[in-house]
Amino acid sequence: MVGQGGLNTVLVDPVLQQVSNITANIEVPLNIALNVVFLALGIGLAVVKEEQLRPFLIASIVASVVFWYLSEAFGGILTGMATDFNSGLLVVIMALAEGASSTGSTRAGRPRSARDARVGDGATSVV
């Protein structure tokens, strides 16, 4: 991704060159560490209660933005030659959408989910 031109030359290339120099000989430990971080975030997001979800979402957004920048160079969108944004932006958007849906607020007194509607109507819910 280095040397693609556009804003990439100023905003991305110098940082990626330094990261490349630093991590040139530690690919396997770095890969293992990233896998552990992403696995911990994924498991955390899957098992925490809704009240404790926000810190995991924020950590996931930060990890995704850092990964998107350092590994995917923002999908090359600053070069003017990008065809997609890669996965970093998608993960951030999904985390933001989940955070918005788990804030606990409802519009006009409506339940947040179909499960809440069933429980509110006195119907039994299958979990």
Domain that holds residue 58: 8-120
Residue 104 domain-assigned?
A: yes
Instruction: Categorize the per-residue pLDDT at 36 as very low, low, confident or very high, splitting at 50, 70 and 90.
Output: very high
Task: Write down the residue that tokens 């498991």 correspond to.
Answer: 43
Question: How much of the chain, in percent, has pLDDT values that exceed 90?
Answer: 9
75, amino acid identity: G
On whether the pTM is more than 0.85, the answer is no
DSSP 50: G
Residue 126 domain-assigned?
A: no
Residue 3 domain-assigned?
A: no
* Residues contacting 38, CB < 8 A, separation 6+: 63
Residue 76 domain-assigned?
A: yes
Residue 2 domain-assigned?
A: no
Residue 67 domain-assigned?
A: yes
Residue 65 domain-assigned?
A: yes
DSSP 1: -
Residue 25 domain-assigned?
A: yes
User: For 52-81, what is each residue's pLDDT tens digit?
Assistant: 888 888 998 898 888 888 877 777 776 766
Q: How far apart are CA 88 and CA 55, in angstroms?
A: 18
Residue closest to 73 by CA, chosen among 29, 24, 94, 65:
65
Domain count, the chain: 1
